[in-house]
């Protein structure tokens, strides 16, 4: 039996693939679970139209991500935090802090798109990567500065 997959299935195929499966597997699992549809000529024509539409949408999304990446490359995010004598922060700057700073500047990026393996715990300039789309990454410039009231206290 040939079926068209409606979602990605491990060890079977990706969404839109036409695969040959055992009759019982198709009739008893894939079709009732709406994980696939039968590969009839009409369904094959529909899936080709859906693939073309998905390719156009992906191209639009990629262009939007490239434009957003260019804007983010120009951006500098500045955080002021309390720090110890060896320029280590008492707290840290996390991906959630970066997300809130981007939201304040009008950029809609999800926290899980920001690649920050460990929280930033030192003063200075850091480069943080953001995954905007498949194959499109942007580099954010994050600057962490010492709080001003701390410098005044050290001078006294």
Tens digit of pLDDT for each residue in 68-124? 999 988 999 999 999 888 888 888 899 999 999 999 999 888 888 999 888 888 899
Look at 149 and 135; give whichever has higher pLDDT. 135
Burial string for 32-71 (b: 16+ CB within 10 Å, else e) reads: eeebbbebeeeeeeebeeeeeeeeeeeeeeeeebeebbee
Question: Considering the entire predicted model, what is its pTM?
Answer: 0.66
pLDDT tens-digit map of 33-50: 999 999 999 998 888 888
Q: How far is CA 70 from CA 21, 58, 59, 66, 132, in A?
A: 45, 18, 17, 6, 11
Domains in the chain, CATH or no CATH each: 2-63 (3.40.5.10), 69-155 (3.10.430.100)
In whole angstroms, what is the distance from residue 112 CA to residue 136 CA?
Answer: 15
Residue 156: pLDDT band (50, 70, 90) is very low
Mean pLDDT value of segment 40-67: 89
């Amino acid at each position: 039996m040939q079926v068209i997959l409606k979602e990605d299935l491990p060890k079977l195929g990706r969404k839109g693939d036409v695969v040959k499966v055992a009759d019982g597997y198709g009739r008893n699992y894939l079709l009732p679970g709406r994980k696939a549809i039968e590969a009839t000529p009409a369904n094959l024509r529909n899936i080709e139209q859906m693939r073309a539409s998905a390719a156009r949408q992906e191209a639009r999304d990629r262009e939007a991500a490239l434009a957003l990446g260019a804007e983010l490359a120009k951006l500098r995010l500045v955080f002021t935090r309390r720090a110890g004598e060896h320029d280590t922060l008492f707290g840290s700057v996390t991906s959630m802090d970066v997300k809130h700073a981007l939201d304040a500047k009008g950029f809609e990026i999800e926290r899980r798109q920001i690649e920050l393996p460990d929280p930033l715990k030192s003063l200075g300039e850091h480069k943080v990567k953001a995954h905007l789309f498949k194959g499109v990454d942007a580099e954010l410039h994050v600057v962490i500065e010492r709080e001003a009231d701390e410098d005044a206290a050290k001078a006294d």
